[in-house]
Amino acid sequence: MSFFKKSQHTPAFAFDPVAQEPAVRKSICTGEMTVGYIDKATGKFHDLMMVDRRGLEDFKRQVGVDNLREIY
């Protein structure tokens, strides 16, 4: 029996690039940022979590994109 197993690492924010687009929703008044995905079929934004600037950069790195679509 092994005490140290390698776990299979899956991306924290997996998405289907055919059906979804990663995006960030920004508040004009307060500056709050929420990351999530836009459903390409319906155009609806599905939020995942609120982030700061560092969290936004982490999200972009995890989903593998350089530029996110911004929604206000």
When computed from its CA atoms, the radius of gyration of the chain, rounded to whole angstroms, is 15
- Per-residue pLDDT reduced to its tens digit, 33-53: 999 999 999 999 999 999 999
Split at pLDDT 50, 70, 90, the class of 16 is confident
d(Cα 25, Cα 36) in Å, to the nearest integer? 8
Percent of the chain at pLDDT above 70?
Answer: 82
